[in-house]
């Protein structure tokens, strides 16, 4: 049995012979779905998610580049960009499957975006020659997403990047995030104040929007557990921050593309990225950042 791949020019999907699957929307190279062999969905996707590239997808794994959050006059080169940048709405190119022929227990799908394929208005706002190569690798028990950023022009540029993963959970009230103990974080729901996570796991009972810089090294997994049993184990590569976000009821209701309203109970965003300050890429240089989410 072979891996089956389908590409209808809007979405690319791959299914392993053992049943695991992944689906990627070309707008944003957004992973929309990741299912295990039993067909259980691992990513949360809003029923009213906008899938035509006019805004980022509410769910799955939108790719944040080259700015995280709203633009600010504090950083002039990115000050004209939309919230979370343009990579999540641009139309990417499917470059094909790059796994060694014949492997049936994993598949790697490659997607590309360059300065040549973004709109003139974005080019005018961010006039750099960049290349993005995004690889989505589905294994029987994990999903890896890797972004390689290259500077193909003459001018250096600064960027931030984030893998904005919406994980599906049964009940946010019993979810615990481990691996952030003692870590410093910026609390975006409390005037961006600097705080420190106590030596306990993170739990949820209200709107939560935090930028953590995990105190333990990158090899230490971030775990998402439900009533003590691990559901996901996230390993970062070259990404120093973890953003944790749940909008809770009021904010969920206020988002036109967030549906159902009660959906906030079934999702948690755990987002590996490089968003504290800026990565600078000189002419000809490359940066690679990745995450692997393992199932228990
Ligand atoms: C999170 C941010 O990463 O994304 C939040 O920390 C933000 O502040 C959320 O609200 C959703 O952003 P957007 O642009 O997809 O509505």
ipTM of this model?
0.98
Give pLDDT tens digits along the chain (296 positions): 889 999 999 999 999 999 999 999 999 999 999 999 999 999 999 999 999 999 999 999 999 999 999 999 999 999 999 999 999 999 999 999 976 666 789 999 999 999 999 999 999 999 999 999 999 999 999 999 999 999 999 999 999 999 999 999 999 999 999 999 999 999 999 999 999 999 999 999 999 999 999 998 878 999 999 999 999 999 999 999 999 999 999 999 999 999 999 999 999 999 999 999 999 999 999 999 999 999 99
Pairing mode, strands 175-178 and 166-168? unpaired
Tell me which residue of 146, 77, 80, 139 sits closest to 110, measured CA to CA. 146
- What is the C-alpha separation between 239 and 255, in angstroms, rounded? 28
Phi-psi region of 53 (alpha: psi -120 to 50; beta: other; left: phi over 0): left
Cβ-based burial of 35 (10 A; exposed 0-12, middle 13-18, buried ≥19): middle
Which atom of ligand 1 sits closest to the CA of residue 210? 6
CA of 106 to the centre of ligand 1 (A): 31
Question: Looking at 93, 271, 288, 294, which residue is catalytic?
Answer: 271
Torsion sign over Cα 170, 232, 247, 21: negative
User: 154-178 as b/e, with b when 16 or more CB fall inside 10 Å?
Assistant: eeebbbbbbbbbbbbbeebeebbbb
Contacts of 197 (CB under 8 A, 6+ apart): 180, 181, 182, 183, 184, 185, 212
Whether 110 is in the pocket of ligand 1, judged by its Cβ within 6 Å, is no
Question: What SS3 state is found at 116?
Answer: helix
Residue 234 contacts residue 124 (beta carbons within 8 Å) = no
What pTM was computed for the model? 0.97
Whether 49 is in the pocket of ligand 1, judged by its Cβ within 6 Å, is no
Residue 75 known to be catalytic? no
Enter the DSSP assignment of 125: H
Residue 41 contacts residue 30 (beta carbons within 8 Å) = no
Half-sphere exposure of 96 (CA within 13 A, CB side): 4
Whose tokens are 């891996």? That residue is 3
Residue from 30, 207, 245, 274 whose mutation best tests the ligand 1 pocket (most atoms within 8 A of CB): 245
Residue 178 contacts residue 223 (beta carbons within 8 Å) = yes
Residue from 211, 269, 272 whose mutation best tests the ligand 1 pocket (most atoms within 8 A of CB): 269
Residue 84 known to be catalytic? no
Whose tokens are 């299914």? That residue is 15
CA 289 to centroid of chain Cα atoms: 11
């Amino acid at each position: 049995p072979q891996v089956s791949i389908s590409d209808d020019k809007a979405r690319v999907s791959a299914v392993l012979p053992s049943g695991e699957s992944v689906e990627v929307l070309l707008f944003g190279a957004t992973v929309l779905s990741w299912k295990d062999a039993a067909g259980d969905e691992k990513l949360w996707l809003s029923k009213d998610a906008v899938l035509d590239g006019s805004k980022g997808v509410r769910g799955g794994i939108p790719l944040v580049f080259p700015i995280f959050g709203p633009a600010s006059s504090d950083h002039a080169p990115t000050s004209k960009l939309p919230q979370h940048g343009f990579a999540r709405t641009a139309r990417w190119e499917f470059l094909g499957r790059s796994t060694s022929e014949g492997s049936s227990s994993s598949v790697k799908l490659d997607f590309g975006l360059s300065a040549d394929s973004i709109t003139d208005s974005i080019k005018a706002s961010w006039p750099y020659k960049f290349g993005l190569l995004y690889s989505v690798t589905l294994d029987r028990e994990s999903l890896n997403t890797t972004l390689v950023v290259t500077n193909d022009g003459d001018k250096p540029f600064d960027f931030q990047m984030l893998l904005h993963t919406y994980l599906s959970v049964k009940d946010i009230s019993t979810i615990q995030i481990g691996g952030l103990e003692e870590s410093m974080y910026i609390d975006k729901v409390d005037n961006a104040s600097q705080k420190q996570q106590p030596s306990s796991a993170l739990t949820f009972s209200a709107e939560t929007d935090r930028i953590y810089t995990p105190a333990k090294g990158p090899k230490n997994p971030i775990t998402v557990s439900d009533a003590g049993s691990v559901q996901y184990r996230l390993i970062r590569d070259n990404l120093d921050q973890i953003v944790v976000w749940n909008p809770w009821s009021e904010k969920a209701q206020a988002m036109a593309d967030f549906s159902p309203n009660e959906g906030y109970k079934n999702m948690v965003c755990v987002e590996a990225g490089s968003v504290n300050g800026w990565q600078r890429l000189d002419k000809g240089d490359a940066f690679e950042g990745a995450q692997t989410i393992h199932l228990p």
